[in-house]
Each structure stands twice: as structure tokens, then as C-alpha cells.
Amino acid sequence: MCKNKTNRSLFHETKLANINVKNRLVRSATWENMTTADGHLTKDLYNIYEDLSKNEVGLIITGYGNIVKEEQPNPGMMGIYDDSFIDEYKKLTNMVHRYGSKIIMQLAYGGTKTKFNVGERIIYAPSEVPERSTNVLGKAMTKEEIDYIVNAFAEAGKRVKDAGFDGVEIHGAHTYLINQFLSPYYNKRTDSYGGSLENRMRFLIEIYYKMREKVGKDFPIFVKLTATEFFEGGLTFEETKLICKKLESIGIDGIEISGNIHGKAKSMVGQSFDGYELKEEGYFLEYAKIISNIVNIPIITVGGFKDFDNMEKIFNETNIAYFGLSRPLLAEPNLIKRWKAGDKKPAKCVRCSKCRTPEGNYCTIFNNKRRV
């Protein structure tokens, strides 16, 4: 239950695991499409993160990084698949830290949630079930291939630590590979990785344990999860609650609750799934509230937030600890600095999702900044 929460400010310094964060506002992971072809950083990308950190973002979660060279769900996404990336990420983390912000790196294996270079590479999946939005069919993984990806996540996590990041986030949402293992719709396996929820969780849990071996007991590891899959036969919220409890029990430092409705959330506001309604201010808020009451680790909620006063009200009335923003910061990179200075008008972002362009994510209305 909530205790002693009246009139707490989102701008008070806080501790997320062992990370001292200057406020409760998080830049959630955003694919910028600004790397080189093989995932290395560019001046444009450094500039994006400098803008975020100097404009008072408390915690930055990077766009997802691919953990094996041969698997890149989208063009222009960050790489972290070998040691050649460590020094350039050190430059990034040092720059962010100079402005007092903290930064964690998100790691992902995209799998069949892709339309990039399909047919030119092997794409792993738990089972041969086409992804609903892309219709891409992957290769059902052998035990050796599962071990390969588990180890790749762990090695990437070690590089994240060596590069000076404050923590790492494992992407287990949005129909990427880990989410597909969790999902009864996509996971039709009959071995120890399929069937029961305990078995479907095994892949994610093995990734966590192997990564923990590599980074040590004190380096923060977070997980991003889909609250519910919003379709019949998919992962349910009841299962997600059990996954969250399991993750807490094995040592995960925090959980980000998201969904898998890119570009469709605004049209789905007011609809109910698994008994909870999607909200205009915080699409997955109802799910995050419930989870924040059943675990004792920090919960980050994301999706649709643009009103500071509303977020602060939610913060004071619930156990939700952090609020993730992405599109509003594309529209107004100085948004959090503006709020801190006392101008609490809602973000300009109109939630049109036109920022999701083939060239990457950028605001096409208010802040038309992209690579030229």
C-alpha cells in the first residue's frame, strides 16, 4: 500500500537500485536510426544523447542494441556485439554523466518482429509461428542456438558494464524474441522451454543468471515486459504478474511495463484488456499500478505521458516509481528542463506516431531533426 506519499515531487533525487537519479523522469528507449551500417555511433547520435542529458533527463535508456552481429531488427540501431564498441560507449557514458544524468543500455534480440533484410539471414524464433504484424517466419531454435543467444546477452551485458553504463535493460517486450518465448501464442515448443509458464520463462531467466555471472551482483539489471499481448491466445496479464514476481525473487532490480501496440495505442484508449482499461495518460498505467503493488522492486511505466501534473498525481497516489517518456522528448528535447523551471504546461506532442518513419524516430511536426 502507498504510505507517506502526499506532495512528493518528481524532481527529488532518488535511488534506482544503486543508481542515484536526479528525478523520476526517464527517457524510454527510442530507436534513432543514426548509427553506421554496422551499429557504431555517429556524431548525430552523440548529439541526441547530449541534448537529453543537458536538459535534465534523470535516466536515459538507450535505443536497443543488437547482441549478435548477424541480427539487426532495424537499420541504424546500436551494436554491442563485440568489444570494438566499448570505447565509443565510454565516450557516450562520460558525456551523459558530465551533465548529471544516468544512462542504461537496452539489449535485444528482435527476431521475427522485423522487415529488415528478411531472407538474407537466419532469424531465430521459439517456434515456427509468423509474427502477427510482419508475417515473418523464424527458425525454431535448437538448444545449442538458445545457449548461443543466452551467452550473447550475457557478454553484451558485460560490455555495457565495461563501457561505464549505470545499468542494463533486457528487452523482453514488444514481440521480440524473449517476449515470444513467454507467449503461448508464439511458443509452441514441447521441450523444457515451452508449455507451462515456468518453461516459457526459462529462456529469460537463463539470460538473467548468465548475465549476472558476467556483471557481478551489484550491477543493476532491469527487464522490460509487455503487460498483456492484447489478443486472444497471447500472453495474459495474469501471467505477466507471475513473471514479475519470479523476476523479483531471482534478483532483477526493476521492471518497465510496456505493451506491443506501437502506433495503435491512441486509437485503443478506453478499451479494456484482461480487465483493465488503456488510459490516455499512461496507456499501461492500470497494469503498472497492479504490479507495483505486488512486487517490492521499482516499476517504470511508459506510454502516452505528456502532463507533468498528472504524472506527479499518479506518483503520489500509487507505488509506481518512474515515468518513461519518448515521443514528447522527440518533440521537445528541453521538456524536462522546462518543467523543472516551473513551466508545467503539457508536452507539445500530439501522440500522432508520425515520428515512427522509415528513416528512424524523429518529430515530424515540432522538432524536425534527423540525419541529413
In a domain, 93, yes or no: yes
In a domain, 283, yes or no: yes
Upper half-sphere CA count for residue 337 (Cβ side, 13 Å): 13
* CATH number, domain containing residue 79: 3.20.20.70
In a domain, 76, yes or no: yes
Q: What pLDDT does residue 363 have? A: 86
Q: What pLDDT does residue 250 have? A: 98
Q: What pLDDT does residue 129 have? A: 98
Query: How many domains, in total, are found in the chain?
Result: 1
In a domain, 331, yes or no: yes
In a domain, 368, yes or no: no
Q: What pLDDT does residue 60 have? A: 98
pLDDT tens digits, one per residue of 242-277: 999 999 999 999 999 998 766 566 677 767 778 888
Query: What pLDDT band is residue 278 in, cutting at 50, 70 and 90?
Result: confident
Query: What pLDDT band is residue 356 in, cutting at 50, 70 and 90?
Result: confident
pLDDT tens digits, one per residue of 5-27: 568 999 999 999 999 999 999 99
Identify which of 363, 353, 327 has the alpha carbon closest to the alpha carbon of residue 266: 353
Query: What pLDDT band is residue 316 in, cutting at 50, 70 and 90?
Result: very high
Q: What pLDDT does residue 371 have? A: 40
Q: What pLDDT does residue 372 have? A: 34
In a domain, 9, yes or no: no
With 60 as the cut, is the pLDDT of residue 339 above it?
A: yes
Q: What pLDDT does residue 181 have? A: 98
Mark whether 124 is an active-site residue.
Answer: no
- Do 187 and 127 touch, CB atoms closer than 8 A? yes
With 50 as the cut, is the pLDDT of residue 3 above it?
A: no
In a domain, 367, yes or no: no
Exposed, middle or buried: residue 339 (CB in 10 Å: 0-12, 13-18, 19+)? buried
Tell me phi and psi for residue 127, to 5 degrees.
-145, 170
With 80 as the cut, is the pLDDT of residue 4 above it?
A: no
Q: How large a percentage of the chain has pLDDT more than 70?
A: 95
Q: What pLDDT does residue 41 have? A: 97
Q: What pLDDT does residue 369 have? A: 60
Choose between 223 and 31: higher pLDDT: 223
Catalytic residue among 176, 193, 322, 362: 176
Look at the pTM and tell me if it is higher than 0.85. Answer: yes
Q: What pLDDT does residue 188 have? A: 98
Beta carbons within 8 Å of 47's beta carbon, 6+ residues apart: none
Q: What pLDDT does residue 6 have? A: 63
Domain of residue 29 covers 14-361
Q: What pLDDT does residue 91 have? A: 98
With 90 as the cut, is the pLDDT of residue 1 above it?
A: no
With 80 as the cut, is the pLDDT of residue 182 above it?
A: yes
In a domain, 371, yes or no: no
Cα distance between residue 169 and residue 178, in whole Å: 13
Average pLDDT over the chain reads 92
pLDDT tens digits, one per residue of 204-227: 999 999 999 999 999 999 999 999
Cα angle 222-265-178, degrees, rounded to a multiple of 5: 35
With 70 as the cut, is the pLDDT of residue 307 above it?
A: yes
Q: What's the rounded mean pLDDT across residues 58-67?
A: 97
Q: Give the 3-state DSSP-derived string for the chain, with helices as H, strands as E and coil as C.
A: CCCCCCCCCCCCCEEECCEEECCCEEECCCCCCCCCCCCCCCHHHHHHHHHHHHCCCCEEECCCEECCCCCCCCCCCEECCCHHHHHHHHHHHHHHHHCCCEEEEEEECCCCCCCCCCCCCCCEECCCCCCCCCCCCCEECCHHHHHHHHHHHHHHHHHHHHCCCCEEEEEECCCCHHHHHHCCCCCCCCCCCCCCHHHHCHHHHHHHHHHHHHHCCCCCEEEEEECCCCCCCCCCHHHHHHHHHHHHHHCCCEEEEECCCCCCHHHHCCCEECCEECCCCCCCHHHHHHHHHHCCCCEEEECCCCCHHHHHHHHHHCCCCEEEECHHHHHCCCHHHHHHCCCCCCCCCCCCCCCEECCEECCCCCCCCCCC
Identify which of 242, 220, 236, 121 has the alpha carbon closest to the alpha carbon of residue 165: 220
